[in-house]
Chains A and B, each alone.
Chain A
């Protein structure tokens, strides 16, 4: 069941069209990745979904109700976290969570804050000022803030940007746990393709303000035919590079390692030829096309067209 329905959404800033007639839906309990290069229209769309930017045309419906007409009722069940905004610097973490809890119709505020402190491991931070927190701690507080109203829909704009790998992993685990336990629906933007592949059930790829793909991360990756083989050569690596050039294959050398971009179906022949030419590799790893390849390929096509 669609919990959010976006139809023919357009945003124009004078002559510039930032978002051009996009339509999509977010299903109940789904994590939807919202991808695209910088300036593609992701943040503009997110702002419209939050009601802090008026669309030029089109409609946004949450739970079957129009956002513009039922803003207060809808935003009681929606929340947002981003790296672009801060909580007030001079306030303590506990003060921030307290005042924000009053902005929503929460029945037992103290109890809810206690739960969030536990989930996001904020116990040691409650009496610290926001200004004294590290970026990882700040992200945890921001996420706790975004869960304060037990939202049915959560919009996350690069939630793990500028986090160390351990904290980023913790954030991802929390998101997946909340999705499973509470059936929360999430829209997530990220430049970390591995993260999107791990976390998202579906991906919308947006470029130049239009939706260019809408599918699972795996299906999008499958549209790319090029795999990467990483080979280790103790000797003869330059001959392999020459051979790749002759075959018009892209290769990258890193010490004794060579990475070759090649179609999956051509791999057996390529390896056989190397052995026939007595160019022996001592290690091999084959990387299948990923969402990142899809992303890079689409940007490449876009730039060529431009």
Chain B
């Protein structure tokens, strides 16, 4: 693995990011709109007697969901961007390896997650004086679970795109939402129907969001939830990596030109 090649791939994305309204909108506009809408809704419920932590819990859920969503989105859209631009061949006729391409997408994802996350934290503080960053260190283990889960979904969707092309590109911005109801982002798992609770046991994100709410209520990190969440996330991540590498090998049997 060569650093200059990973840097080159990242540079290509940064050049494009600055000029791409869609990507800027995804990173900053939608998080702002979400925070305004959900913040006002939470304030309304607080005024109705919903408890003092409602605003903090809802906004924390929203900001943490951003980690999951952005980390998966950046990987899948990275590939789509190359396909839309018919640039994939240019990359792979160079010495760039598939692993280098993937690593560059993961690093880019982390940078963009940090940018969007920090921006959202700032907006939450500016609009509602909610100091989510006060929980920074305690949230860190759960953020890791969400990051790994986001990569898992992103890598799986990327594998699907390699296999089936841009006709399934909508999965890049929709698939992660399938897990939303079972992830207990804004509500505890216990309010889900029993069958849905059984499913959420296998969803690593549910442990992260439950743990996050535990920190807000008690100030204590539930390490058991963290370990279950991170273990599940690691297992799924490994499986999705196998799927991605197999998809790439399969596409090399058909030819990269066929994907474009």
Q: Can you name 18 extra interface pairs (CB under 8 A) apart from A54-B252, A85-B90?
A: A43-B257, A47-B255, A47-B256, A50-B93, A51-B93, A52-B92, A75-B93, A79-B94, A87-B90, A88-B15, A88-B87, A90-B16, A95-B15, A101-B8, A102-B5, A103-B9, A103-B95, A105-B2
Would A53 and B255 count as touching, CB distance under 8 A? Answer: yes
Chain B residues with CB under 8 A of A95: 12, 15
CA distance A54 to B94 in the complex (A): 16
Tell me which of B11, B85, B260 contacts A102 (CB under 8 A): B11
A54 and B253 in contact, given A91-B15, A99-B15, A103-B94 (Cβ under 8 angstroms) = yes
Q: How far is the CB of B13 from chain A (nearest CB, A)?
A: 9
Chain A, residues 49-73, CB within 8 Å of chain B (1/0): the string is 0111110000000000000000111
Chain A residues with CB under 8 A of B255: 44, 47, 52-53
Near B by CB (< 8 A), chain A positions 135-157 give: 145
Chain A residues with CB under 8 A of B12: 88, 91, 95, 99
Summed over the interface, the residue pairs from A and B with CB atoms below 8 Å come to a total of: 101
Main secondary structure on B side of the interface with A? helix
CA distance A88 to B95 in the complex (A): 19
Question: What are 22 inter-chain pairs, A to B, with CB distance below 8 A?
Answer: A47-B255, A53-B253, A53-B257, A71-B95, A72-B95, A75-B94, A79-B94, A80-B89, A85-B87, A85-B90, A87-B85, A88-B12, A88-B16, A88-B87, A90-B16, A90-B19, A99-B9, A99-B15, A102-B5, A103-B5, A103-B8, A103-B95
Would A85 and B8 count as touching, CB distance under 8 A? Answer: no
Main secondary structure on A side of the interface with B? mixed
Is A16 part of the binding interface, using a Cβ–Cβ cutoff of 8 Å?
A: no
Partner-B contacts on A (CB < 8 A): 13, 43-44, 47, 50-54, 71-73, 75-76, 78-80, 82, 84-92, 95, 98-105, 145
Would A99 and B252 count as touching, CB distance under 8 A? Answer: no
Q: Which residue of B lies closest to A94 (CB)?
A: B15
Chain A residues with CB under 8 A of B89: 52, 80, 82, 84-85
Tell me which of A73, A75, A89, A100 contacts B90 (CB under 8 A): A100
